[in-house]
Amino acid sequence: MNVDKAKKRIAKQVKKGFKGYPQIAIAYFGDTPECATEVAVQFTLEEGAQVQEERFASPTDARESEVIQSALVKIIERANANSVIEVEGVALRA
C-alpha cells in the first residue's frame, strides 16, 4: 500500500474521535522531534482491560515508512478498532 494512502486511512480513523472500545493508540518516538525512529501501537479491548503494546523500529522516519504505515492500517483493520488515537508529534526517547 502506498505510504500516502496508508497515512490518509489512519488519519481518517483518528479524525472520528473516541467511539468506544476496542481502541488502538499510536505514538511515535525518536531522538529528535523531526525524525520518529520508533512507533508504539497499543491495543485496549475494553475499559479497564490490560493494554497490549507492540513496537516497530525504523532506521529512517517511521512516519514515512511504507511498510510500517501499511502494518498500522492492517492492525487497525484486524483489531476491528472502534477508536484510533494518535499522539501528536514525536516524543523524545530518554
Domains of the chain by residue range? 3-92
43-62, pLDDT tens digit by residue?
999 999 999 999 999 999 99
Residue 94: what pLDDT?
62
DSSP 8-state class, residue 35: B
Instruction: Name which of 70, 74, 73, 20 is nearest 46 in CA terms.
Output: 20
Residue environment code for 49-63, b if the CB has 16+ CB neighbours within 10 A, otherwise e: eeeeeeebebeeebb
Residue 16: what pLDDT?
95
Binned at pLDDT 50, 70 and 90, residue 1 comes out as: confident
User: Residues of the chain with pLDDT > 90: what percent?
Assistant: 95
**Mean pLDDT, rounded, of the chain:** 94
Give pTM, 2 decimals: 0.91
